[in-house]
Amino acid sequence: MTLKSLDDKFMKKKKKSILKKILLLALIMALTIGGYYFYRNYQILKQVHQYEEQVTEAVQKENIPQHKDLVLGIIFTETKGENNDPMQSSESKSGYPNQIEESQESIDQGVAFLAKAIKKAEAEGCDLWTAVQAYNFGLNYIDYVAENGGTNSLQLAEHYSKSKLSPKLGNDTQTKYRYLSLHSVFYNGGYLYHNGGNFFYADLVKANEKKIKQTNFLF
């Protein structure tokens, strides 16, 4: 065997060794990130489920018991269960943020508003996710969807945020701000409109409701 062939053999082994180390490092990083993701979600779900009894009572009172997991998904989306106003209900009650400081009041108000949105959406021939998006946008969004096919979509929600809600609340120039999530980055590079609510809201709640349903057996 010549010196050149020995050098070639050594370089091939070295390259394989480096490649194995890179793959091992990538695997370790993926497992670490994945482990953190599942741990973080478990902690959030645990916090959200502390309100399950209150939510059960509230949805029964408002005659929407079939939507208990949906309400828990809203709590996951709104506050991750880390707030005295877990459903962020202050604005729907008083028009101002940070007015509710007790979880029972928050849940009663939030579920009542959701029930109202669902009833209005059904009356106008709209789907459930129109009502869910209206939880973030306000009830006028239901009228808008009813006039545009009756089914909520990301495109409709974005257009409403840009052309209706944002200007109404003072953003006449439709300025944007960074909003980074996996969904938003793939959809539009990661942005929302100032004063325009979150047009990804229904999709976020849908994903979080799915997490609730898939992990109910843990709690």
Mean pLDDT for the chain? Answer: 91
* Residues 2-29: tens digit of each pLDDT: 655 645 565 666 667 777 778 777 777 7
Confidence bin at 154 (pLDDT 50/70/90): very high
Q: Residue 135 domain-assigned?
A: yes
Confidence bin at 38 (pLDDT 50/70/90): confident
Q: Residue 190 domain-assigned?
A: yes
Instruction: Give the CA angle between residues 69, 181, 176 to the nearest 5°.
Output: 115
Q: Residue 13 domain-assigned?
A: no
Output the pLDDT for position 12: 67
Output the pLDDT for position 5: 60
What average pLDDT score do residues 35-64 get?
A: 92
Helix, strand, or coil (residue 176) = strand
Q: Residue 130 domain-assigned?
A: yes
Output the pLDDT for position 96: 76
Question: From start to end of the chain, where are the E strands?
Answer: 176-178, 191-193
Output the pLDDT for position 161: 98
Q: Residue 18 domain-assigned?
A: no
* Residues 204-214: tens digit of each pLDDT: 999 999 999 99
Domain extent for 109: 50-218
Q: Residue 9 domain-assigned?
A: no
CATH code where residue 125 lies: 1.10.530.10
Residue 35 has pLDDT above 80, yes or no: no
What average pLDDT score do residues 64-85 get?
A: 96
Total domain count for the chain?
1
Task: Give dist(CA 108, CA 113) in Å, integer.
Answer: 9
Q: Residue 17 domain-assigned?
A: no
Output the pLDDT for position 132: 98
Task: Give dist(CA 91, CA 62) in Å, integer.
Answer: 19
**What's the predicted TM-score (pTM) here?**
0.86
Q: Residue 44 domain-assigned?
A: no
